[in-house]
Amino acid sequence: MAKQSFKDVQRQAEQIMASLEKGAYAPIYLLMGEEGFYTDKISGYIAAHALSDAEREFNQTVVYGKDTDGAAVVSLCRRYPMMSARQVVIVREAQTLRGFDALGIYARQPLLSTVLVICCKGKSIDKRSAVYKQLTGCKGTVVLESSAPRDYEMEGWIRGLFASRGCGIEPKAVQMIADHLGTELQKIDNEVEKLFTRLPEGTREITAADIEQNIGISKDFNNFELTRALSERDMARALMIADHFAADPKGNPLTVTIATLFSHFQRIVTLGIAKWENQKQGRPAMAGLSDTEIARLLKLPSPFFAKEYIGASANYPNAKVFAILGWLREYDMKSKGMNAGSAEHGELLRELILRIATL
């Protein structure tokens, strides 16, 4: 079975949350996969809302896989609730549970007054296994396998996060968050939560200045601004940003910057190849390459960014981009301590930018 895309995971998680918010609880939830954000979100919602405060004391049990075994969990699930319509049993770190197969046997006849939440955070159950087939064979089992998002999927997820709070966010602000926090969904969610506690009530549009003031990401010195400076071949500005990064290497890790630059130049060469293919067929280089089509081709968060890549592809012919991609692989290794000598990360980044400048 092919792994679900992150977009499908997001859609399925939203459907599960919508059912929970309506008070519809399934007898078994199997939450698993490499990305733990939705596992925590769904299990956390069940823990907080399936029972009232008075019911929770006697009818909610949270156990950890390393501290128990499958038979003990089944024994908990077979109990009847006390002065409540249901009880909740949450198994965290279930991937470490001894005797996990017992949960599959339980799934053949689950107690309908029990809500069992199985959290395999960071790992998935083998879909070929008997226990997986038994768990998913139960009519009432809800399964969510969370795959990790790709870098290019983060902008849409971030916009959706703000939209769920009835708030828009400008493209530059989205890119600042994505570049600085990467694909760490929980970390982004935590920062957004803090952001809304600091903003004036009624704020309906988040700007780059809001991100800088409340999350601590500079609107002028970040990976987004670095890639733009390189796109425009504004090397003086690129070196100024590199100096800013060198002064705060912890807040601006070189490995993240190089990964961002690699994605950036991959997009430039992708557009360059599309232009070359047009010319090979006797068409103008930009034939059919509207801003919308470029955004689709390069997996950009918005057509707003297309003009930057049109300019960048003019500044960097494909042969130059291939050379730069090779250097980025070299400096990625150096950033991880291979053949870097005693050079600091800030020095390595400045050296890389100077090489690009002289290409």
What does each C-alpha distance from 105 to 32, 63, 116, 285 come to in angstroms?
19, 19, 13, 62
- Amino acid residing at 190: N
Q: What is the mean pLDDT of residues 19-27?
A: 95
What is the rounded average pLDDT of the residues 20-48?
A: 95
Cα separation, 171 vs 300, whole angstroms: 11
**The token pair that represents 160 in the structure block:** 């959706």
Q: What pLDDT score was predicted for residue 26?
A: 95
> Would you place residue 218 in the very low, low, confident or very high pLDDT band (cuts 50, 70, 90)?
confident
Q: What is the pLDDT of residues 142-155, one digit of tens each?
A: 999 999 898 888 88
Mean pLDDT, rounded, for 163-173: 91
The H or E element that residue 94 is part of is: none
Per the prediction, the chain carries an average pLDDT of 91
Answer yes or no: pTM beyond 0.85.
no
Each residue's pLDDT tens digit, 275-304: 999 999 999 999 999 999 999 999 887 888
- What does the domain layout of the chain look like in residue ranges? 6-148, 152-215, 223-357
CATH no., domain 223-357: 1.20.272.10
Q: Identify the band that residue 342 occupies on the pLDDT scale cut at 50, 70 and 90.
A: confident
Helical pair 101-108 and 130-137, crossing angle rounded to 10 deg: 30
Q: What is the mean pLDDT of residues 235-262?
A: 91
318, 276 in Cβ contact below 8 A?
yes
Cα distances (angstroms) measured from residue 344 to each of 197, 248, 314, 337, 356: 37, 12, 32, 10, 19
> CATH 1.10.3720.10: does it fit domain 152-215?
no
pLDDT at 180 over 60: yes
> For residue 41, what are the β-bridge partners?
none
Q: Residue 1: pLDDT above 50?
A: no
Q: Which of 303, 10, 262 is nearest to 154 (CA)?
A: 10
- In CATH, what number does 6-148 get? 3.40.50.300
Structural tokens at position 220? 């002028």
pLDDT in tens, 66-93: 999 999 999 999 999 999 999 999 999 9
Tell whether the model's pLDDT for residue 2 goes beyond 70. Answer: no
